[in-house]
Every structure is written in structure tokens, then in C-alpha cells.
Amino acid sequence: MDTQKYVNIDGRDVPIEGEKNLLEVIHKSGIDIPTFCYVSELSVYGACRMCTVEIEGRGLQTSCSTPPEPGLKIRTNTDQVRQIRRVALELILANHERECPTCVKNTNCKLQDLSKRVGVDKVRFRPVQKPMPIDDNNHSIVRNPNKCILCGDCVRMCSEVQGIGAIDFAHRGHDVVVQPAFGKTLDQVDCVYCGQCTRVCPTGALTPKSEINAVWKSLQDPKKTVVVQIAPAVRVALGEAFGYQPGEVTTGQIVAALKIMGFKKVFDTCFAADLTIMEEGNEFIKRLNNHLPLPMFTSCCPAWVKFVEQNYPDLLPHMSTCKSPQQMFGAVAKNVMAPEMAIRKEDMVVVSIMPCTAKKFEAKRPEFSEAGQAEVDHVITTQELAQMINEYGIQFRNLKPEALDMPLGFKTGAGVIFGNTGGVMEAALRYVYEKVEGKTLDNPDFHEVRGEAGIREAEVKLAGKTFKLAVIHSLANAKTIIEKIKKGEAPYHFIEFMSCPAGCINGAGQPVSALPDHRKNRAKGLYEADKMLQLHKSQENPYIKELYQAKLGDVGGEKAHHLLHTHYNARRRMKGKSMVIVDGKNDDKLEIRVCVGTSCYLKGAQDLLHHLAKYVHDKGLQEQVLVKATFCFEKCNKGPTVKVGDVVINHCDLDKATVAVDKAIGIQA
């Protein structure tokens, strides 16, 4: 046998076929090496030591950080390896809150699973950390630092994939913790509530915030009529919690389960997705014809919207004014369906089942309530729905499928594919093409916008003109494209943005799957569901047509705009005086950037930032100067560091900064 192409694992030769580390080769051989800190889509960290193996001639090595080399002889289950794994788990458990029966991750916790698997039956070490407060001040995510095992998965996800860095390691030694900057809570920093940190967290340290009890309470209230909407991506993932394969559509069983629970009407968010396309497609055409800001950004993803509000408020005019399908559904349900059902809208409770944690935040935005009455009252994730089905004792696999209720249960394939990256773009093209070309689109598929790449570009010809499109998923990729747009290097006309990798099918509220192709199979399930329907274009939905004729008037008209559109505002990245102080657009303004990294912060950067903001305000320079906080100029030994325009000032104080500001303004004048 050619030893140049193989490694030997426990006496068996296993081929090397492009794997980036030994862990992947060992997994391929049929051995499931335990690990906490290894997530294939993230960088290698090698902190948990659970994947330790013994390599002949090298001793103990972490398999996740060791590249495969031909001829290596590896042993995965020696006495020493097993002992290391048990001790590592005992040390983790010593500082871990061990209230497993009441933990939301009970039976689905990697720490719990590996403790049983490795054979830890007692913990010999005493805890050295004191209990810390639970961060549950936001609507989307609960952070319990007492259950954190310091694997760093959440930190790397937030930084590498999402490009935000809302949480990170702080302090040193046994005092090290994972937390937002300056010990703030998640609602006080630039977290966008995408929840991808909860998806990779192996314990209950980061979890979606549950609204199950609130939904049960509404269902038990005889004065309330509770209706529910099911998001597109839910139907191809919920079944995984009950033994189905990823991508299997279980809409009929979901409807049956919800009816048993007591929901009065079960509708489909895909109906509202069709409605969204009518308004968004019309808005895009209007922008083209009237030379309004381009490229137009989709606005269906609330995490993406919040990301722009916090980081690029000057680009908000590019954001579609359309509400998301979730919020359009809520508006129609309470303002159209409630009167038709002869009930007051305040007596209707709208529940959303979403693959997304950011949707919980979105439903509570003040823009989406009127006189204290929210358009959507409660949002539960796919995971929460599975929990409710189990709580009720419903035998999901034995249910006979039932039909969605009309009219808000009817949809076209365009609405269904919303759950995939590229789905919103493709659905919009199916509408825009017919409106601009003035002819029927025989083949509704636009394969050029499909795919798995995080940044995808395409061109489409309409009325003899070529339009450039882009489809983006994950916020780090979004940041890359936005920076190009700001530099004039990305002449797109229309861009779809989704914050979660692969789109809503991989949202943080979906069942967590270890299967390698679960994203691909979920996407395939939605595209196949599109093919199974008779109608594939939103403008073909007869109930959408009826809604416009009876209630909304013209597409994009005054009535439709009032009910289905909204506006967005600039948001400060962190509450308190330490972040963006002087708000506004930065077009042609002098930017003052003050580093508030740990070193500069300890040297007085926060006070300097505050005094600079006051100086700008007192001098009436708000139209000329923009004060911002930033991380990091990598001059920690020379702080505080301030950048005035292009000039970097080390060991800066207020006098140095104001002199530089006055000089810069004088040059500009």
C-alpha cells in the first residue's frame, strides 16, 4: 500500500483526500472524535483538548489542529487519551452550572452528551468562579455565563462569519469570561440578534429566548383568537426534531399539530412573501424609472436591517421600505382578517413560527406597533415549536396532514423559496421580468442567483438593458460588499442580503444538525416544494390579487404603502456616552475616530470621546464634524489614540485633538 497517501488510524490505513486536519480524516474513518471548540466553518482554536489523540513519535496532539501527513500512525482511544478527556470534562463541569433537568438544552447538550459518553460519573474539583448575572435584557437571546465552557465558538462565529465581534474573551487566568465589551449586556452593544452564536454554542450558555409560555397563555385565554403563520424554512427543518431527514417537507403535519394545540387559523408566511414581492418588485422598478438611490437592498432580514442601522446609517436610503413578510402578515391579519372574522384586532393574537431569533426583536420594534398594539404578538422558533409539540404529547410522526387555512394560507412557489439564499432575488426577478418586459415568463427559474457561495453576482437583461445583481449571505460578506459600494467599486442595481449563512434555512432557531449536507438538503426541499406547486410567480396568486382589489388598491399605492411599508433609523452601536456621540451622515464630514479599546479606555479614551463630542456640539460643528468610537489602531502603548481625518495622534488629549480639528476644518474651508 502506498504510504505516501495514507495515515494509519488504530491499525487501519485511511486515505488522505484533501482533509484539512486529522480530525476530519478520523471522522471519515468512522470514528467520532469528541470536540467542543471545533466547528468546520470556523477557524481552528484547539482549546478544549477533547480531540486529543496519540501520534507515534510525537505523543499527544490535538487532532483538530494537526494537518494530515502520509505515514502518520494515530491511536484515538489509549488509556492516556481517555484520561485526558475525562479530566478535561471534569474541569469544565467544576465551573459549569449543573442544573441539567431545567436547562433549555437538556437532552440536546454536547457537554451532557460527552460527559455520559466519556464516562464522567463524578467531579473531583471544586468551582473557582462565582455565579454571574444572566443577560436576558433583549427579546432574542439569553446569555448565561454560568454555563459557558470557554470553547470560543460563539466568539469566532460573531467575528469571523458575521464580522461584528459583539462578544469576546475578557480578563485572564481563571477570571476569563466571554462577554460583550465593557461587561455590557447584548442589548447595549452592536449585537444584531442573528443568533448564530446560539447555533454553535454546545451548552446552554447562549440560547434563543423562549416565548413558549406567552403563547400557551394566549391559547388558554377565551377572549383571544390566536392565529399562526409558518415561515418557509420551518417546513423543511422541523421534521428533524422527530426523526425526519433535513429537507423533508412536513407542512401538513405542522398544521395538524397546531390545530390540536388550539390555534384558530393556521396560515403561511409564504402568502406574505408573495405580497412582499409585489411591493418590493414595484419599488425596484420605481427606483429604476425615477433615478432613486441604487442599489436597492432587500429588507426581509431584521438582523441585516439592524446591522445597517448601526454601522452604515448613511446607506439607509438604499434599503427597501417594504416590511418583512412576517410584519406584512401581521399587518394584514389584524387590519384585514380580524374585521372579516368579526373580531377586534386587539382580540387577535398573531403568532409567528420562524427559523430566526432576530424576528423576535423585529416584532417588538416600535415601528411595527400602533397605539401599543403590535402587528405580531409572539415569535417562536422552529426549536420552540418542536418543544411545544413534545410538551403537548403530540405524536408528530403519526399525524395525518391537514391543509392550511385560506386565504392567507395560499402561496406560490416564489414565496416558498424565500427561505433560501437567493430566493428573495429570484422571486423578485419572476415579478420584475414580466412587468418590465410586458410578457409572460415561461421558465420562472433564475439559476444564476442560486448557489452556496457567500457572495454571488449575476446579470439580467430587461428591456434591452443589463442590470447587475448580487446575492449575499453572512454579515462579514455584507460588510465586504458595502465597503466596495461606498468606494464606488460595486455598480449593482439590486442586492439581496441575508445575515445567516445559507439564509433562513440555517437560521439560529432551526434544529441544530450535525449532518454535513443539512443546509443543501433543506434548500433542495424548498426548491422542490416550489416545483410541486401550480403557480410560481407572486403576481399569479389569486388571493393576493383579491386583496389588492378589495383592500389595498394599486400595488405600491397609498393604501398599500401605509399598511405594508415602513422606515428605518440610525442606531447607536452602544448605549452610553462611550460610542457614537454625534449622529448624522458622514458625507463630506471630518471624521474624528477615538479608540476605545481596553488599553486606550484605561488611559482615559472614554472621557476624551465625551469631551470631543461636547466640543463639537458647543462649537456648532455638527454639520462639519462626526465623532465616532472605534477599535483599534494597534498602538496600545501610545494611547489614547485619536484619528482626525487622516492624521493619527498618539498620547492624545483634548488640547491636541481640538487643535487638529480646528486645523483640519480650516484646511477644508
* β-bridge mates for residue 354, sequence order: 381
Q: What is the pLDDT of residues 150-177, one digit of tens each?
A: 999 999 999 999 999 999 999 888 889 9
Cell of 258: 397546531
Catalytic site residue from 151, 158, 300, 500: 300
**pLDDT value of residue 587:** 53
Asked about 504 being catalytic, the answer comes back as yes
H helices of 262-412, in order, are: 269-290, 302-311, 325-332, 338-340, 358-363, 382-392
Of 101-115, 304-318, 415-429, the one with minimum mean pLDDT is 101-115
Q: Residue for cell digits 413560527?
A: 353
| For residues 580-590, average pLDDT | 55
Q: Where are the beta strands (DSSP E) in 375-499?
A: 378-381, 455-462, 465-473, 494-498
Asked about 280 being catalytic, the answer comes back as yes
Give 584's pLDDT tier (boundaries 50, 70, 90).
very low
* β-bridge mates for residue 497, sequence order: 472
Distance CA 631, CA 600 (A): 10
Catalytic site residue from 194, 504, 600, 652: 504
**pLDDT value of residue 572:** 58
* Long-range Cβ pairs for the range 32-40 (8 Å, 24+): 33/63, 33/76, 34/85, 34/114, 34/117, 34/118, 35/64, 36/110, 36/111, 36/114, 36/149, 36/151, 36/153, 36/202, 37/64, 37/151, 37/152, 37/153, 38/64, 39/153, 39/156, 39/157, 39/200
pLDDT at 571 over 70: yes
Catalytic site residue from 362, 375, 384, 540: 362
**pLDDT value of residue 569:** 85
pLDDT at 234 over 90: yes
Distance CA 595, CA 643 (A): 8
pLDDT at 669 over 50: no
Catalytic site residue from 54, 97, 240, 283: 283
Q: What is the pLDDT of residues 348-392, one digit of tens each?
A: 999 999 999 999 999 999 999 988 889 999 999 999 999 999 999
**Three-state SS for 6?**
strand
Distance CA 640, CA 595 (A): 7
Give 453's pLDDT tier (boundaries 50, 70, 90).
very high
Asked about 17 being catalytic, the answer comes back as no
Q: What is the pLDDT of residues 474-489, one digit of tens each?
A: 999 999 999 999 999 9
Q: What is the mean pLDDT of the chain?
A: 90
Of 182-186, 304-308, 452-456, 569-573, the one with minimum mean pLDDT is 569-573
Give 125's pLDDT tier (boundaries 50, 70, 90).
confident
Of 116-130, 213-227, 303-317, the one with minimum mean pLDDT is 116-130
**pLDDT value of residue 566:** 93
**pLDDT value of residue 579:** 40
Domains by residue range for the chain, with CATH: 3-77 (3.10.20.740), 90-208 (3.30.70.20), 212-564 (3.40.50.1780), 590-668 (3.40.30.10)
- CA count, 13 A, side-chain hemisphere, 377: 23
Which of 575 and 445 is assigned the larger pLDDT? 445
pLDDT at 524 over 70: yes
pLDDT at 581 over 50: no
Asked about 320 being catalytic, the answer comes back as yes
DSSP structural state of residue 223: T
Give the range with max mean pLDDT: 62-76, 108-122, 592-606: 62-76
Q: What is the pLDDT of residues 191-223, one digit of tens each?
A: 999 999 999 999 999 999 999 999 999 999 999
| For residues 79-86, average pLDDT | 90
Nearest to 455 by CA among 423, 498, 419: 498
Catalytic site residue from 41, 56, 340, 367: 367
Nearest to 55 by CA among 67, 47, 45: 67
Catalytic site residue from 24, 54, 97, 280: 280
Question: What's the count of helices (H) and strands (E) in the chain, helices before strands?
Answer: 22, 23
Q: Where are the beta strands (DSSP E) in 166-307?
A: 167-170, 177-180, 206-208, 225-230, 265-268, 296-297
Quote the percentage of the chain above a pLDDT of 90.
69
**pLDDT value of residue 573:** 52
**pLDDT value of residue 620:** 81
Cell of 101: 433537568
**pLDDT value of residue 4:** 59
Asked about 90 being catalytic, the answer comes back as no
State the amino acid at position 294 in one-letter form.
L
pLDDT at 2 over 80: no
What distances in angstroms separate CA 607 from CA 81, 597, 614, 652, one per listed residue? 52, 13, 11, 12
Catalytic site residue from 63, 115, 320, 538: 320
Peptide bond into 595 cis (omega under 30): no
The pTM score is 0.82
pLDDT at 580 over 50: no
Q: What is the pLDDT of residues 32-48, one digit of tens each?
A: 988 888 888 888 888 88
Asked about 299 being catalytic, the answer comes back as no
Beta 494-498 vs 465-473: how paired, if at all?
Answer: parallel
pLDDT at 600 over 90: no
**pLDDT value of residue 386:** 96
Catalytic site residue from 110, 209, 306, 359: 359
Of 105-109, 316-320, 469-473, 573-577, the one with minimum mean pLDDT is 573-577
